[in-house]
Amino acid sequence: MAKKGKMVEERPIEPRFSVRWLAEWYWTLLTAGGLAVVLSGWQIWNKLNQEELWRREIPTPLYFYLAAGLLLCGATYAVRYLLGVEVAVAFQRRQVHKEARALRKEARRCLRWHGRRLSSGVRGEVEGAVKAIDQALAPLKDASDWGRLEVAMATLDGAIDQHLAFARKSSMRESVESVGGAVLIALLLRAFVFEAFKIPSGSMIPTLQVGDHLFVNKFIYGIRLPWPFDETEFGKAHQKFFMDLRKPQRGEVIVFKYPKDPDKDFIKRIVAVEGDQLEIKENQLVINGQAIERVSLGPCEYDDFKEDTGRWEHDQCESFRETLDSHPFTAIYERGRATQSWPSWTVPPGHVFVMGDNRDNSHDSRYWGFVPFELIKGKAMFIWWSSGEPEGIRIGRMGHAVE
């Protein structure tokens, strides 16, 4: 006689916190690691293929970024492989949670726009199913909670199919609306709020390096229409509104259209505003008869990309910490070069006077004049990406606010 064994109830797998966290951030971690590998590998490859022998010395940080990216990708995938069952459950639950929230949103949208077409009883049935989703989403502590959520989802989905099928969107329509909405928002943000800008030259070193990519706040000095239609002495210009609410201030770094060629964008620092009398005495800025605060920081060095030769060059400089109103920044001058003095300027209304922080290597208002308010595109905010010689990818500059 065979012995009867006891029936053992198999408990559902409950993912631990670390596994749930991995399921939440899995693709983000893989993307971050993959980007680090691709970008650092691309930089290393470029350096190895340059002609000059001295440029084949690969900066240590690039190897670190490559190793960190490989380690992040490998560790993320290894954890998923080793804890495969738990991770699969966590992924499934994450998808269920996402679908539940989407279903609840769809039901509320249908009730908001088409609820009046339903009888009070039917409307109450759908609203009750939505409430059941809300209650099921609240705890979600173990497998039984997730089971109740799936039952509530099936109930609400059936109620919508039965009473509001005419109001449901197809998957194609939802995709088109999502993509179209994202594109529209991106275009509006670029037109009126923020715009990306790349630093092509060393005129703003050390504040901004060649290869810095930054965001520009376009609405701080007023709303600028994205299409030009005003005819000015500079050609077609963009109409701006509310410019008097927040005028440009001394010390701010701005992006503007070059007055001599409005098709080009320049970036410089405002050193004088409308009504100011500016004079430069032996490299010292004097505004309205008052010399600005200036402290020597001693010798310095920097790498600059020369646009005329297409090569990177290493230069020697002298640095000074200067303060314009409440904006402290570092300005540099060529080492060994004689100091310069310039005649005084009086900034006319509706204009600013701009200079680069790399004072002896900047094509600015000293040479071509003032910048009209209507040519100012916005204020430089922060650096979101940076790469260039000699280090390659400059992780330390990313997220850095522009002084």
Q: What does the pLDDT look like over 265-320, one tens digit per residue?
A: 999 999 999 999 999 998 999 999 999 999 999 999 998 888 777 788 888 999 99
Three-state secondary structure call for residue 104: helix
Determine the Cα angle at 306 with ends 304 and 311, to 5°.
90
Fold observed for domain 86-168: Substrate Binding Domain Of Dnak; Chain:A; Domain 2 (1.20.1270)
Model confidence band, residue 1 (pLDDT cutoffs 50, 70, 90):
very low
DSSP character for 77? H
Label residues 253-284 b or e (16+ Cβ within 10 Å = b): bbbbbebeebeebbbbbbbbbbebebbbeebe
Residues annotated as part of the active site: 203, 268
- Domain extents in the chain: 17-82, 86-168, 192-397
**pLDDT over 70 for what percent of the chain?**
86
Residue 401 is classified by DSSP as B
- The answer regarding whether domain 192-397 maps to CATH 3.30.1050.10 reads no
Which tens digits make up the pLDDT trace of 335-362? 988 888 888 899 999 899 999 999 999 9
What are the tokens at 143?
Answer: 């497998």
pLDDT (tens digit per residue) in 198-240: 998 889 999 999 989 999 888 788 776 666 655 555 555 556 6
Asked if 93 and 147 count as a contact pair (C-beta separation under 8 A), the reply is no
8 Å CB contact between 401 and 252: no
Task: Provide the 3-class DSSP secondary structure of residue 227.
Answer: strand
